[in-house]
Chain A
Amino acid sequence: MANHKTKKTIDEINRRIKEGKVVVVTAEEMVGIVKENGPGKAAKDIDVVTTGTFSPMCSSGAFINFGHSKPPIKASQVTLNDVPAYAGLAAVDIYIGAAEPAIDDPLNKVHPGQFKYGGGHVIHDLISGKKVRLVARAYTTDCYPKREIKKQIRLSDLPYAVLVNPRNAYQNYHCAVNLQDKMIYTYMGVLRPKAGNANYATAGQLSPLLNDPYCMTIGLGTRIFLGGAQGYVTWAGTQHNLSVARGKNGVPLEPGATLMVMGDLKAMNPRWLVGVSMLGYGCSLAVGMGIPIPILNEDIARYTGVSDDDIFTQVIDYGKDYPAGNARSLGVVSYAELKSGTITLNGKTIQSVPVSSYVRAREIAGILKEWIQKGQFYLGQPQHLLKDM
C-alpha cells in the first residue's frame, strides 16, 4: 500500500478543478480505462471517478422547523398531510421519516396493502413546491399556551428543512427469491412463488460504495450529489459493517458499509427524491445520490475499475429463510448475470428484476461529472474516514 507511484491529495485535485484541468470519468467509463491501461496509468490520468445510485432507501427523512405561531405552541403530536412526524425534539422541531404511512392508511389489513401516501411522499410534495397541511397538538405551558395549530406549509416558507438520512447507499445487497408456493410482497418488491423472479437492488459497477470497497476516501465531510443538490456524508450509516466476506478484489460479497448523509432540502429537486409505495410492505423514498471518488493512488484506481462481472451477491430466500431470521445463501450471482435478465439457481433459469434504477444512476454519475468539470463542485475533505468506523 505504501509504495504508490501516484500520490495525489484532495487539495491538488481541487486545484485542478479550479484551473479547469481536472480529468473526470464515470465509474462505467473507468471500467474500460483500467482494463486497457492498467490501474497505474489510470491513477496518473484520472483525477475523479463519479458514481451514482437511485433507489428506494428507507432510513431517510427530514428535520423541519415550522416556525413559532402567535401565541406559540410546544407541539407534541404533529402530522403533515396526515402522516405523523416525530415531535419529541423541541417546540416546533420535527422529523418526518420516509417509511411512516398516513394515519388512516389501511396498512396490510387487506393484503397486500398499497401504502399510497407516507413520509417519502410528503418530502417529495414539499420539494415539488406543493402545499402540505400541518396539524400540531400540544399540552400547554406557561411559555407555550397554544393547544393546537392547523396550517398549510410550503417548503419555501419554512425557516429550516434539512434532509438527514441515517442509512443510505448500502454497499451491496441481497438478491431476493421466494421458494414458497404463494406470491409474497417484500421491501425487495413482489416475489413470485417457486423462485419466479430474482430481485436485486444496487447499481453494481456504478454504485458509490462498491467503487470504494474499504471506504478509503469517504467520510465525514465528503461532498456528494444528494437529491439533485450538493449534500454531505456526515457519518457511517446505521448497520455499517466493514467486517464482511469479500472477494479477492476486496468487494464485499454481502451487505457491508452504509452512509449517513444530509443536505439542504430547499435546494433539492423532486426528480431526485421521489416518494414510493412498496406493495404489501410500506412507504419509502427513492433517493438519488452520487459520490465522487478521488483517485489518490493506483489502489483506488483499481477499485473504481470494478465491473459488474467482478461484483457478486448472495441469493436469499425471502419466502421462508429471511422472515424466520435465518437468511442463508442459496447461491452466488454476479451483477453482470443479474443485469443480463436471467440468473441460474440450482440449474433453474430465473428472471432477474432490478428494483434500483440503473438509468437514473447513470444520469447522476453524468451530472456529477459535469458539475466537477465545470468547476461547480469541489471535493470535500473528509475529516473522519468511514474505514475507521
Chain B
Amino acid sequence: MYAKMVHLRFPREIVNEPIVMNLVKRFDLSCNILKATIYPRKEGMVVMELSGHRKNYKSGVKYLKNLGIKVDNISQDIKRNEEKCFHCGACTAVCPTGALYIERPEMRVAFDKDKCSACELCVIACPAKAMEVNFDKGLLE
C-alpha cells in the first residue's frame, strides 16, 4: 500500500476532465479529496490523498501530468522538530502509512517523509509536540 498527499493545479481547459474517475478506473487508485476549488478564472485546485499500488500511483501521476496538471507532493509539510522529539515511539501507533517507524535494535524513531501522507494524526498524538505542520501558503490562495 502506497499513499501520498498531492496538490493538483489545473488549467481551465481541463476542468471538465473526470480525473478522479479515471484515476480510480484506469489506475486502480483510491482518491480521498480533502479540498477542491474552481477559481473565478476557471482554473482548478485539488488536495487529495492518492493511494494504491506504487506502480499504479506512478502511472496515475504521469497521466495527470500529461494532461497539463501541475502535481506537487505536499508530504514535506509535516516536519519533525528534532530538538523536541525524544524518540518514545507513541506516534508509530497512529501513523497510517508507516512513515513514522522504529529502527531496531537502536529503538530510534525514524521519519520517512516520502511515505508521509500529511494526515496530521501524529501532530496531536505526539506527547512532546515534536511533529509540526508547515503550511504551504500556496494551498490557501
Question: Which A residues lie at the B interface, using CB under 8 A?
Answer: 54-56, 112, 114, 116, 189-192, 196-197, 199, 274, 276-279, 284, 286, 339-341, 351, 353-360, 362
Q: Tell me if A189 and B90 are in contact (CB < 8 A).
A: yes
- A351-B127 Cα distance, complex, nearest whole Å: 19
B interface residues, how many (CB within 8 angstroms): 20
Answer yes or no: B53 CB below 8 A from chain A CBs. Answer: no
B104 touches A357 (CB 8 A): no
Between-chain CB contacts (< 8 Å), 29 pairs: A54-B88, A55-B88, A112-B124, A116-B129, A189-B93, A189-B125, A190-B94, A192-B93, A197-B93, A277-B127, A278-B127, A279-B125, A284-B127, A286-B88, A286-B128, A339-B105, A341-B102, A351-B93, A353-B92, A354-B90, A355-B88, A355-B89, A355-B90, A357-B87, A357-B89, A358-B107, A359-B87, A359-B106, A359-B108
B86 and A357 within 8 A (CB):
yes
Q: State which of B86, B93, B106 has its C-beta within 8 Å of the C-beta of A353.
A: B93
6 nearest interchain CB pairs?
A: A276-B127, A358-B107, A354-B89, A359-B87, A353-B93, A197-B93
For residue A358, which residues in chain B have a CB less than 8 angstroms away from its CB? 87, 107
CB distance from B101 to the nearest CB of A (A): 9
Task: Specify which chain A residues have a CB less than 8 angstroms from the CB of B89 in the assembled complex.
Answer: 353-355, 357
Once the chains are docked, how many angstroms separate the CA of A199 from the CA of B125?
Answer: 13
* Chain B 69-114 interface residues, beta-carbon cutoff 8 Å to A: 84, 86-90, 92-94, 102, 104-108
User: A190-B94, A359-B107 known; A114 and B86 CB under 8 Å?
Assistant: no
In angstroms, Cα B121 to Cα A196, docked, is 15
- Report whether A354 and B125 are in contact in the complex, using a CB–CB cutoff of 8 Å: no
- Tell me whether A340 and B88 are in contact (CB under 8 A): no
Chain A residue nearest to B107 (CB atoms) is A358
